[in-house]
Amino acid sequence: MSVPVAYQGNTSAAVADWLNKGDNAWQLTASTLVGLMSVPGMVVLYGGVVKKKWAVNSAFMALYAFAAVWICWVVWAYNMSFGEELLPFWGKAGPALDQAFLVGRASLPATAHYRADGTLETAMVEPYFPMATVVYFQCVFAAITLILVAGSLLGRMSFLAWMLFVPLWLTFSYTVGAFSVWGGGFLFHWGVIDYCGGYVIHIPAGVAGFTAAYWVGPRTKKDRESFPPNNILFALTGAGLLWMGWAGFNGGGPYAANVDSSMAILNTNICTAASLIVWTCLDAVFFKKPSVVGAVQAVITGLVCITPGAGTLLPAISSANSFI
């Protein structure tokens, strides 16, 4: 059978034999959806959920982190997370800006797994799209991780301190987790599975947020007693952008437009919807009225909970309508 011209390689200098146009298109779309979760999603959410006097500063912390991570990522942090192995938990620092590197086929060199006798057991991960796509996709993941950490520091940390914190935490914390689990580090070779960010993104962000908040110190007593949201509609808009953008977050995890990505997106929406409904009902039962802020928290909780296993879960009911 003849292959349609649109699906053949070498139709132009920009279409190599290994390039899967569908996978590449989806991965770029997924990356952009994740980016939109940060800018404007988290920018709007943070600007709306805090007190009015902190709105602009909080939104700017998210915007700055997104920009700063981009520069750090392409200059040194990408290769520390997904490049050649330096240590079992760290890759070799180096720029990801070389033209030949970016337009060549994507690969994660440290993911090749060898048997005890030195023979190859599992080949390295090599998606069917350019390295530039992987650099983009993983960069927006790193960026939203820092922005999640910022949520614990809104109204606590000065902006100048935040400017220093972002590149330091990215370099000495995020890259360690990313390489260890996803980039071919020791946890990867032990068989640890993190579908799309439970170990690499959510746990480190939560621990860093708690730790940073402890060392920075509490807000003033007045602010702790009264912390009304600045703009509920902004908070809802930000939560909505997070929910829809999470299709790229979990749907892009397989590095392909395949069945796993479809199941991941479906599971993500079901879990998030269930979280919102249950949380709202509990608010109505225990506090006598539903809460918009509670609903926003429920959306984020549902999204985070499903992420580590979004692409590995099967439907709870079989085709014969019997529970598995």
When mean pLDDT is compared across 8-12, 162-166, 289-293, the lowest value belongs to 8-12
What per-residue confidence (pLDDT) applies to 320? 44
Average pLDDT over residues 155-166: 92
The whole-angstrom separation of Cα 110 and Cα 183 is 6
pLDDT in tens, 275-320: 999 999 999 999 989 999 899 999 999 999 998 888 887 765 444 4
Closest CA to 164 of 244, 72, 102: 72
What per-residue confidence (pLDDT) applies to 234? 92
Which tops the pLDDT comparison, 167 or 118? 167
Average predicted confidence (pLDDT) for the chain: 88
Average pLDDT over residues 158-178: 95
pLDDT in tens, 120-159: 878 888 899 999 999 999 999 999 999 999 999 988 888 9
User: Model's pTM, two decimal places?
Assistant: 0.89
For the four alpha carbons of 271, 31, 74 and 150, in that order, the dihedral sign comes to negative
Domains and CATH numbers, the chain: 16-233 (1.10.3430.10)
The whole-angstrom separation of Cα 45 and Cα 100 is 39
The whole-angstrom separation of Cα 250 and Cα 181 is 16
What per-residue confidence (pLDDT) applies to 247? 93
Average pLDDT over residues 9-17: 69
The whole-angstrom separation of Cα 140 and Cα 36 is 9
Instruction: Tell me what percent of the residues of the chain surpass a pLDDT of 90.
Output: 59
